[in-house]
Amino acid sequence: MKAAIEFLSGMLKDPIPRPRIAAARALGQIGGAEILPMLKLALHDEDDAVRATVGGSIARILNHAKPSPNRAKS
């Protein structure tokens, strides 16, 4: 998994937006606190679609990190 994360992290720096979008989406699906710093850097991307995807990926990771109210009551 570490190799995949490193590869996707490198894709966030691709000169073409489409691979950066794909990398941000994939990193969001992988999730985990170790991915947040690289996604936060990508929030400053020059492309609107990349920034939107990065924001969605960050939200996905943060939402999965919080316990749902139903789980907390169990």
Quick one: pLDDT band at residue 69, thresholds 50, 70, 90? Answer: low
pTM here is 0.85
pLDDT tens digit string along 5-26? Answer: 999 999 999 999 999 999 999 9
pLDDT tens digit string along 25-64? Answer: 999 999 999 999 999 999 999 999 999 999 999 999 999 8
Task: Give the span between the Cα atoms of 53 and 23, in whole angstroms.
Answer: 9
CATH label of the domain that carries residue 54: 1.25.10.10
Task: Give the span between the Cα atoms of 50 and 56, in whole angstroms.
Answer: 10
Quick one: pLDDT band at residue 68, thresholds 50, 70, 90? Answer: low
> What total number of domains does the chain contain?
1
| Domain span at 27 | 2-73
Task: Give the span between the Cα atoms of 65 and 43, in whole angstroms.
Answer: 20
More confident residue, 2 or 70: 2
